[in-house]
Structure 1
Amino acid sequence: MTQVLLLTPQVGGSENSADILPSLGLLTHQIRVAALEPESLLNSDASILLLDGRTDLVGVRNFCRTLTALGNQIPTLVVLTEGGLTALSPAWELSDFVLVTAGPAEVDARLRMVVRESGRELIAAGGVEIDEEAYVARLDGRALDLTYTEFELLKFLAQHPNKVFSREQLLSDVWGWDYFGGTRTVDVHVRRLRAKLGEADSLIGTVRNVGYRFVPRS
């Protein structure tokens, strides 16, 4: 599940993403809709920006220039009607575009491709999405408030779903070879991580007398 920030020039912002890109509502990505203005990017942890270019092409083009000036690093797509394609050019400095008539499979593919091409690797498994670049972990679209070590532990386990790691292995790979603490710290961090996962605490499974593993939800 990817965090998508959908910006629209409609006054106050549209409250329904389906009004802008109907297929988006059929996907499982977490969508937040806001006004097309730089302030909407403040404190945003979005993985992808979608710009509503259906009606105000000049305004969206100028906003793209503003994003470039601000040093935007988030993959950005513009939603266009077929007629709007004639105004599109490399000067917009977009990652890609998508037509309002695109089906769910095409929209999902375009979102995944721009994230991959941007070099922004996302680890996704069992409803957990980890954005290494932004240092954000989300569960079903909700950002988790994790410490550095909790984030690294969750990331490591999610990168190897269903693989069992002993406490000694986790200490070596997550804490580092120069860590002098005992294996007890692994149990403590797993307990805290499970607490923050809430009802999804079963994502971190225990293999008795062996260690821990990440168990993706079906």
Structure 2
Amino acid sequence: MKLYGFGPAASAQRVRIFLAEKGLDVPTEQLNVRDDDQFAAAFTAMNPFHCVPFLELDDGTVIAESVSICRYLEELHPEPALFGRTAVERAIIDMWLRRFELDGLVPMVHAVRNHVPMFAGKVVPGTRTDLPQLPAMVTRGKEMMEIFLGRVEPHIARNEFVAGPEFTIADITGFFAVRLTRVLEMDIAARYPAVAAWFAKVSARPTFQL
């Protein structure tokens, strides 16, 4: 199998951290998405959504989307278990994974892409369009993240990690959602000290030294 990614891309970094936590080494080819490598015909045929990462299996099957790639690798290498071992563990981890992805990461991604000049013409991941960057999207994304962090704060205060006592895929996704608050200069430490402490703890893991 071969993994296609781009070092600075958060989506690719999520898989890289997952692999490191598993102690796995997968051959990787770097596509410079800033130079539009992903739009080449060969890569478009493999992944028409034009985003990284994506994983090409030995039989030619292509799996895109960070979490989908990680789920596949978890099936092949179940230990250490980052998606849980029991039905209850898997459900709880999936619940928090979805919460952090849908209510935290997605609003932050859209806010950042509508704020950072580098993403002009690229507000929709995997596209090159003339859609303008909208300041209202930045404001709404930050507002949504504030609501989300307010909900998460008491939970994190009672738990070692996002989904309970063990580090999981939910912590990887959560890390990238919270990290984007820095891009938007959101000061979360004072209002959400438990989230800030969790973020610092996860950031210190050897696998997170990006």
Q: Could you state the TM-score of these two structures normalised by the residue count of structure 2?
A: 0.26
| Structure with the higher helix share, 1 or 2 | 2
| Structure with the higher strand share, 1 or 2 | 1
Q: Could you state the TM-score of these two structures normalised by the residue count of structure 1?
A: 0.26
